[in-house]
Amino acid sequence: MTLTWSIETYERLSSTQDELKDRLNQGDEVTEGLVIQAIEQNAGRGRQGRLWYSPPGNLYMSLLLKPGCSLARSGSLSLVMALSIVRALERLAGEQIGITLKWPNDVFLNGKKCAGVLLETETDASGNLSHVIAGIGINVITAPADLGTALYDDRKFKSLTLSGIRDKILQEIARDYPVWLKKGFAPFKEEWLKRTCKTGTEITVGHFDRAIRGTFSSIDEKGNLIITDPEGRERKIASGEIIQNS
């Protein structure tokens, strides 16, 4: 399949996610590949309902995908999209730089968060994914104080434009998404693991209102985090986030 993007850019929205969701809820015929971009968001959202810092100068966009596959596969899609962002940034920088991944879908530059992915899904009567709204936020010029970094904090990115960064990320997603749709997470797993914490690293995972401690083991084909707990038992975690690693 070939994924073609149709980009609409707005000066200000409450949220690019909500704009795309509203169109779907209103029964509008929305084609796969529609991208909603905002120069500024008043109520941008990150994972787990957090607000996403959204002043002008950074990249905020949501894109529509219609996988038609099993809902169980959705967990690995956000990991693949985070990897697509990393690949795009490295190609823009012209070299491998200090970009890493933190499960499930955070992108870090020089040890600080610079980008994230938010997936919101809907299923059809058969339980398959009818559509996915994928929100992407990139700190390009500014980042929240003490909570992240911006691409422009690294000299390799200072000459890049917002549209150039956007287009390269969309290009990488357009290349990776059909591979994921056909083959799942397997073609991406090895590269993903090379860019995250090492096996055996002690981590703490925030899972709903619990903190689960253990050592990092791997990620499975569904995108689940695999850890070994202090009693030596293997555990698979489907949702949550790594809140601490040492």
Q: 131 CB contacts (<8 Å, ≥6 apart)?
A: 24, 32, 64, 65, 66, 67, 121, 122
Query: Which top CATH class is 202-245?
Result: mainly beta
List, by residue range, all CATH 3.30.930.10 domains of the chain.
6-194
Residue whose token pair is 């000066």 = 11
Mean pLDDT of 47-73: 86
246, 208 contact by CB (below 8 A) = no
Q: What percent of the chain has pLDDT over 70?
A: 95
Instruction: Considering the chain, tell me which residue range(s) the CATH 2.30.30.100 domain(s) occupy.
Output: 202-245
What pLDDT does residue 147 have?
Answer: 72
Percentage of the chain beyond pLDDT 90 is: 80
Q: Looking at domain 6-194, which CATH architecture does it have?
A: 2-Layer Sandwich (3.30)
**Tens digits of per-residue pLDDT, 149-172?**
999 999 999 999 999 999 999 999
